[in-house]
Amino acid sequence: MQPPSSVKIVLAMAFVVGCWAYSPTGIHVGLQAYDPGHLALMRFLLASVFMAVIAAFKGIRLPRLNDVPLLFALGFFAVSLHHVALNIGQQSVSAGASSVLAQSSPLFSTLLARFVFKDQISAWRWGCVLLGLVGVVIVVSGDSGLGEMDAHGLLILLAALSWSIYFALQKHHARRYDGLSLVCYAVWSGTLLLMVYLPGLSETVMKAPLRVQWAVLALGIFPSALAYLAWGFVLRHVDLSRAAMTLYLIPPTAMGIASVGLGERPSMMVLVGSAVVLISVLALNLEQRISLGRTAGV
């Protein structure tokens, strides 16, 4: 099979960025009527149904029995732990700041790639990661001050770590499955683990206002289902640490969405930090172009 064009890969990355950038705003709206556990479960019940419909039309590969623990591990890190920690953290952290903290996963991904999977990471790429983290610190300082960050912020960092573990497991240990099959099993297994929050969910759903219901529906379809499929496609064709750097684009996009949807107004410090994050992404792309130029000149 011919590899996908660079345009398709870039479009898939842009779709992922847009979907996951909406997530902090959608979560803040959802938390107006749902508690963190109920919100995570409802979101992924919707995602599970949506993925079941897609699987019925497309067809998926049946899981091997000895892969079941891996598939549940993917569901735990990608769905259960990540989203419960994220929802609890966002109870007292703004959508803009939470998007930055949640998308600090490239740091964890790079560390996993280097020290667990023994990938080679260039000095330039390390510099890009560090520059991006400087931008993260500036954004957090501008949002509420480093001294004001509490355990909720740490929970969002836990969600970021969980996210990067999922990516690494998917990239290095799940190559026997196509993207659709893998995402379906991760979503379904993660949803099963979230069923501990089932008691009281029906009453919450009945009482939630329509605006909240639409926000949760959007969370279930776009960030929780379609974006997972798009990201699986990206990871099949792009190096893990390089692909994870794309996630640095999510915070400024999320801030724009939160500005419209929640009325949040980022401070000048937040804007400066976002610019630093974007520069780190551009620097990474520059490394790729230089490498391609050298290859072409050989």
**Structure confidence at residue 99 as a pLDDT band (50, 70, 90):** confident
Rg (CA), the chain: 19
Residues in the chain: 298
Angstrom distance (rounded) from CA 36 to CA 85: 8
Q: Give CA–CA dist 23/50, Å, rounded.
A: 17
With bands split at pLDDT 50, 70 and 90, how would you rate the model's confidence at 1? low
Tell me the pLDDT band of 205, cut-offs 50, 70 and 90: very high
- Other C-beta atoms closer than 10 Å to the C-beta of 272 total 16
pLDDT tens digit sequence for 112-131: 777 776 677 788 878 887 88
The pLDDT score that the predictor gives to residue 145 is 62
CA pair distance 53, 75, nearest whole angstrom: 19
Token duo for residue 52: 């079941």
- Compute the half-sphere exposure of residue 244: CA atoms within 13 Å on the CB side of its CA: 30
| Number of neighbours of residue 155 by Cβ within 10 angstroms | 23
The band of 241, judged by pLDDT with boundaries at 50, 70 and 90, is low
Which ranges of the chain does DSSP label H, i.e. alpha helix? 6-30, 36-58, 68-75, 81-89, 95-102, 105-115, 123-143, 151-173, 179-194, 201-207, 210-221, 227-237, 240-245, 250-261, 268-297
Percentage of the chain lying above the pLDDT 70 cut: 87
Q: 3 Cβ partners below 8 Å, 6+ apart?
A: 237
- CA gap 204, 171 in Å, rounded: 37
Rounded mean pLDDT of the chain? Answer: 83
pLDDT above 90: percentage of residues in the chain: 38
Q: Is 212 exposed, middle or buried (CB count within 10 Å of its CB: 0-12, 13-18, 19+)?
A: buried
In this structure, what token pair is assigned to residue 58?
């497309």
Q: Could you tell me which of 15, 281, 283, 44 has the C-alpha nearest to residue 183?
A: 44
pLDDT at 22 over 70: yes
**Under 8 Å between Cβ of 100 and 139:** yes
> What are the residue ranges spanned by the domains of the chain?
6-297
Whole-angstrom distance, CA of residue 258 vs CA of residue 254: 6
Query: Which amino acid, one-letter code, is at 86?
Result: L
Q: Examine the pLDDT at 182 and tell me if it is beyond 60.
A: yes
Report the range of poorest mean pLDDT among 3-7, 108-112, 188-192, 239-243. Answer: 239-243
Per-residue pLDDT for 221 more than 60?
A: yes
CA nearest 102: which of 223, 234, 266, 240? 223
Using the 8-state DSSP alphabet, how is residue 208 labeled? S
* pTM given for the model: 0.83
- pLDDT of 212 strictly over 80: yes
**CA 72, CA 268: separation in Å to the nearest integer?**
43
Read off the tokens for 163: 């996210």
